[in-house]
Structure 1
Amino acid sequence: MGRPPRHDADRLLDVAAGLAATEGPGGVTMAAVARGAEAPSGSVYHRFPTHPALLAALWLRSVERFQAGFLDALTAPDPGDAARAAARHVVAWSRANPTDTTILLYGAHDFGADAWPDEERDRLARANRGVARAVRALAGRLGDTTAQGVDLVRLATVDLPYSLVRRHRGRRLPRHAEDLVVHGVSALLDL
């Protein structure tokens, strides 16, 4: 039985995330990750064969972590509760995960999404389609599947809480932030 790797992919991505949060996407280089992890550069290249592959893995890990809770919130049996829970999740998750939030606030394009390997670009597209389907399904549960109805649900559950998180970028979100987005969702969706 072999020994576990000293520099596994998650550890390297943790270092990359820290670099992204403090220096921005441009600070995430293969050499900087190796230095930060005190790993030989070969360990980084073994896990991530190219710089775009590293950036894709970093972005996808953050977005998938976020989307898992968001999608779970949308499954609440009562559609009004689902909308409120989804909006609350955006703020609560952002408060609990400031490094991942900083990464997501930059956007995939800032992490070179156009140069990502096809498989990772497809993975992001699938994840985003899953969120879009879940938002459409919630709009249907709320009784309005028109384009305007779906846009309203997206505004309430994604755009409103995201704008509050963005406004507090780099600062601690206020304790009342979740309550604000819940009130906003209730008002926008007339719940």
Structure 2
Amino acid sequence: MAPPRKHDTDVILDAARTLVLRDGPRAASVAAIAEASGAPVGTLYHRFGNRNGVLTAAWIRALERFQTRVLAAAETGAEDPVEAAVAMCTAAVSFGREFLDDARLLLDLRPSDLLDGAPDTDFRERLATMNAPLIAHLQRMAEGIYGAATPREIDAVARAVVDLPYSALRRHAREESLPAWLDADIVAAARTLLSAPL
């Protein structure tokens, strides 16, 4: 049995995220992340390879936390495409409440903003793989709501399920916490969008 890791990965990634959000991506050097997390520089290089590895891991962790909630919500409402869409909106806001700093990271920074050089092929392929189930849900919802899944119908669903909560989270991400009324308003707005004829 391997010994337990002395320096928790989440602590390291939290420190990297805090540095990026507070001082900008360039402030998150390996040395700065090591100092902020209490992990030795060697541990960061061993575990993540380099600065890009740490920041990519922080960004991917945020995306995984978001997608876990949103995709689980879509599955619970799978019988009714409108309810699945509404559940996804609610899950997006819930993610923002539970992981506001992760939401800020995803909202404010693209991977290319974080990394030295463009994201590599492996990263782009991983991102495409992660996004594939979400795209499949949008296609199923479009088919269920509008009877077709052409680009127009998929775009209509995406406006309600992706753009609406994204915009609301972006507007309120700098606040100490999300407004209590946001969930109900997002749900009502999503239902309105999804009930409008194309």
Listed as ranges, the matches of 1:27-66 within 5 Å are 27-66=27-66
Q: Of 172, 192, 197, which residue of structure 2 is paired with 1:187?
A: 192
Rounded to whole Å, the distance in 2 between the matches of 1:59 and 1:156 is 24
Structure having greater relative contact order (Cα 8 Å, sep ≥ 6): 1
Please state whether the residue corresponding to 1:173 is helix, strand or coil: coil
- TM-score, length basis structure 2: 0.88
Counterpart residue number, 2:178 = 173
Q: Deviations over 1:56-106 (max 9, x none)?
A: 111111101101111111121221111111111111211211110111012
Counterpart residue number, 2:6 = 6
Counterpart residue number, 1:72 = 72
Q: Of 134, 139, 148, which residue of structure 1 is paired with 2:137?
A: 134
Q: State the aligned residue count.
A: 191
- Is residue 22 of structure 1 aligned with residue 22 of structure 2? yes
Which segments of 5 or more consecutive residues in structure 2 lack a partner in the other structure?
none
Listed as ranges, the matches of 1:105-124 within 5 Å are 105-106=107-108, 107-112=110-115, 115-124=118-127
Q: Is the 8 A contact 1:21 1:103 kept in 2?
A: yes
Rounded to whole Å, the distance in 1 between the matches of 2:134 and 2:26 is 28
Rounded to whole Å, the distance in 1 between the matches of 2:153 and 2:116 is 30
Rounded to whole Å, the distance in 2 between the matches of 1:2 and 1:160 is 45
- Is residue 151 of structure 1 aligned with residue 155 of structure 2? yes
Q: Is the 8 A contact 2:138 2:158 kept in 1?
A: yes
Which segments of 5 or more consecutive residues in structure 1 lack a partner in the other structure?
none
